[in-house]
Amino acid sequence: MNRRRPSRTFLRVFSMFGLIFAVALTALATWSIADEHRGSEAAAEVLDVEHRGARTFLTVQFTTDGGEVCGSTLRVTVDGNRAVSVGERIRVHYAKSDPCLRVREPGDQSGWAIILGAMVLLITFAILTYVAWRRPRPPLPLRYAGMP
């Protein structure tokens, strides 16, 4: 069966869109991690504990350094917080730009997985873009046609 190869123009357009997407994703992931590092920690009161299979979710309420009262739900990743109950106080870390939405435990390092995935996509689409846009090799001269 003869399969038709994708056209060179399609490969160029696809690789450029993918490269632009990967650069934007890497930039956003880098900004997100930098914003979380500029954030602070606070003591939060546990309002609700929900077990969904092997995962535990906590609904917490805390006050930021700016005096804003926030309520948020976060996934427990640190083993010490799996056995907490309603009314206990735990430490949480919140981002600087949107403290009520981006709350995590101080030992949670899951944000790095996104930037690693973004970097893999960036490298993949950079290689694809190079291959799609490079000049094709000229054919070998006829005197080398029969050589292995």
Look at residue 3 and tell me if it is in a domain. Answer: no
Look at residue 85 and tell me if it is in a domain. Answer: yes
Strand-pair category, 103-104 with 69-75:
unpaired
Q: Tens digits of per-residue pLDDT, 55-114? A: 889 999 999 988 889 999 988 887 777 788 888 999 999 988 888 888 888 877 777 888
Look at residue 29 and tell me if it is in a domain. Answer: yes
For residue 131 the two structure tokens come to 């291959």
Look at residue 53 and tell me if it is in a domain. Answer: yes
Q: How far is CA 105 from CA 43, 49, 60, 146, in A?
A: 11, 15, 11, 66
Instruction: Report the number of distinct structural domains present in the chain.
Output: 1
Query: Whole-angstrom Cα distance, residue 112 to residue 29?
Result: 8
Q: Is the pTM of this model over 0.85?
A: no
Query: Whole-angstrom Cα distance, residue 102 to residue 40?
Result: 11
Query: Whole-angstrom Cα distance, residue 128 to residue 121?
Result: 10
Look at residue 67 and tell me if it is in a domain. Answer: yes
Q: Tens digits of per-residue pLDDT, 6-53? A: 888 999 999 999 999 999 999 999 998 898 888 899 999 999 998 888
Residue 1 pLDDT > 80: no
Task: Report the C-alpha dihedral over residues 9, 10, 12, 17, rounded to 10 degrees.
Answer: 140
Look at residue 27 and tell me if it is in a domain. Answer: yes
Q: How far is CA 14 from CA 6, 63, 121, 126, in A?
A: 11, 46, 13, 12
Range of the domain at 85: 8-133
Look at residue 49 and tell me if it is in a domain. Answer: yes
Look at residue 75 and tell me if it is in a domain. Answer: yes
- Amino acid (one-letter) located at 8: R
